[in-house]
Amino acid sequence: MAPAPHEHAPDKPRGGDVFASQRAFLQGKTWWDASARGIVTVAGPDRLTWLHSLTSQDLLGLRPGITTESLILSPQGKIEHSFLVTDDGTVSWLLTEPGHRDAAAAWLQSMKFRMDVVIDTPEDFVIAGLWGTQTVASEAHFPITFRDPWPQVGVGSVGYHQGDHPGSGWDMTYVLWGSDSSGLLENQAPISDQAWEGLSIAAARPSATEVDEKSLPHELDWLRTAVHLNKGCYRGQESVAKVHNLGHPPRRLTLLHLDGSPSLLPDSGDAVESEGVNVGHITRAAWHYELGPIALALLKRKASAADVSVVTKEGTIAAAQEVLVPEDAGRAMPRQRLG
């Protein structure tokens, strides 16, 4: 098994370790142990047609070796599961969020009916996250790879963020490291979860941590990589189309640049206030080697884009917003594509 991630004391001096670790990761000198995530495999001749009919992405033409992203939604269009998906020509491989593998597999199993598919949850490997050109030399040794498409706007999708996306340099690939894999990673200490979170937050990369029982993909700008707006019917499709066509999703994700002078990081769930009024909550916070302390927050749609305050158990932190999802997000707003 992979070595356990390094732990850091919850005070400002840990930033030096985090920053050095992040730089090493971005230089391709280390890796991230993503084994808290899970794998679901779907084999059988009906696999892509069946997954296409159930999830938010167009999977009918998914070519072997290509990665895309998809969501399982409730009938009301709320996010239940998210995953990256690639196909090797025989089996579709789904990379799920931490804690979601078994529930996603169980739901898929319940939807088999007469379809010729076989669902499994293999776990005899480590899931490793790699950055950039490090993956080029590794692909021959790790034949199952997931190249994260974030934040590129896919065919049939839209992106709500306007201007240069903070995640435009995001270059993550996940590989499955089994007992027969090469020793490319075995002698490298992995980056800590805390250090990886800082990179993910800076890229405004949504995750299950941003999701609660009310979350719509529009609120997180998740249409761009995980939803095809022109495909046929699937569970939640009507609600997705309605919110996009009418615009104005109830909430919006924002990137917060925190005042670093108190040397505090908020916890998930800490309140975000604007002029003394609660307008939302923190979903994740971490240190970043260039940006310092940063966080993602889910705010009310009409919350002002001006500076806000984050209320923690140890004090209040001032924060500036970098808007990710505009108040007028929807079909009527101007569109921008990346790439």
Least trusted range by pLDDT, from 91-100, 165-174, 176-185, 219-228: 176-185
In this structure, are 160 and 298 located in the same domain? no
Tokens 């709500």 map to which residue? 160
In this structure, are 252 and 217 located in the same domain? no
Enumerate the β-bridge partners of residue 267.
none
Residue 113 CA, chain-centre distance (Å), reads: 30
Name the DSSP class of 62. -
Asked if residue 179 has pLDDT above 80, the reply is no
In this structure, are 84 and 209 located in the same domain? yes
In this structure, are 74 and 200 located in the same domain? yes
Burial of 184 (0-12, 13-18, 19+ CB in 10 A): middle
What gap in Å lies between CA 109 and CA 129, rounded to an integer?
28
Q: Is 2 inside a domain boundary?
A: no
In this structure, are 35 and 109 located in the same domain? yes
Of 221, 244, 267, the position where a domain reaches its end is 244
If we measure between CA atoms, which residue out of 65, 68, 76 comes closest to residue 51?
68
Chain mean pLDDT for the chain: 90
In this structure, are 307 and 198 located in the same domain? no
CB–CB of 7/192 below 8 Å? yes
In this structure, are 199 and 254 located in the same domain? no
pLDDT at 142: 73
Q: Is 339 inside a domain boundary?
A: no
Q: What is the largest CA-CA distance in the chain?
A: 60
What gap in Å lies between CA 12 and CA 123, rounded to an integer?
36
pLDDT at 143: 78
List the CATH number of the domain containing 92: 3.30.1360.120
What gap in Å lies between CA 4 and CA 190, rounded to an integer?
8
In this structure, are 218 and 306 located in the same domain? no
Phi, psi of 125 (to 5 degrees): -160, 165
The range of the structural domain enclosing residue 136 comes to 14-244
Q: Is 4 inside a domain boundary?
A: no
pLDDT, tens digit, for every residue of 134-166?
655 555 567 789 999 999 999 999 999 999 999
pTM above 0.85, yes or no: yes
In this structure, are 133 and 238 located in the same domain? yes
pLDDT, tens digit, for every residue of 70-97?
999 999 999 999 999 999 999 999 999 9
pLDDT higher for 57 or 126?
57
In this structure, are 297 and 152 located in the same domain? no
Taking CA atoms, 117 is separated from 62, 113, 189, 229, 309, in Å, by 17, 10, 38, 26, 50
In this structure, are 256 and 229 located in the same domain? no
pLDDT, tens digit, for every residue of 287-300?
999 999 999 999 99
List the CATH number of the domain containing 264: 2.40.30.110
What gap in Å lies between CA 338 and CA 107, rounded to an integer?
34
In this structure, are 285 and 167 located in the same domain? no
What gap in Å lies between CA 58 and CA 336, rounded to an integer?
21
The structural domain count of the chain equals 2
β-strands 118-120, 38-43: how paired?
A: antiparallel
Residue 119 CA, chain-centre distance (Å), reads: 23
Phi, psi of 166 (to 5 degrees): -65, -20
